[in-house]
Amino acid sequence: MSIYQEIILDHYKHPKNFGEIDKPSKSSRAINTVCGDKIFLTAEIKDNKLINIKFSGTGCAIAVASASLLTENIKGMTVADLRKLDQSFILKLLHIELTPNRLKCALLPLEALHKLTT
């Protein structure tokens, strides 16, 4: 089965939460050294809760879809809960199986998120 399913392609072509938040309370960046892809996150955190989050940067369909889905699904979570998010959370959102190389692409936004919450 192709990993380029409707949901991935849709989020790639029309990413949610793409852009940057003005005066974010937190920001972070993650880079995939294999291809130079960068994901930049800006977030508004209030009382230990994620109020808003946006992403920008360059990435492949998997990285962009992952960032789009991730940012769409974590608003309202506490910082403690965000820290607990792992690979399985991303893979459930993407709903595809990935080889080790492409897993790096999918996990790039999560890496940026973890940098944001530490």
Per CB under 8 A, 35 contacts another protein: yes
Binding-site member from 39, 45, 70, 105 for another protein (CB under 8 A): 105
The residue count for binding another protein (CB under 8 A) is 17
Per CB under 8 A, 14 contacts another protein: no
Q: Which two tokens stand for residue 82?
A: 């965000």
The interface mask with another protein, positions 59-78, x = CB under 8 A, is xxxx----------------
Q: Which residues contact 97 (CB under 8 A, 6 or more apart)?
A: 1, 3, 91
Q: Are 28 and 116 in contact (CB under 8 A)?
A: yes
> In three state form, how does the secondary structure of 33-49 look?
CCCCEEEEEEEEEECCE
Residue ranges binding another protein (CB under 8 A)? 2-4, 9, 12-13, 34-37, 58-62, 102, 105
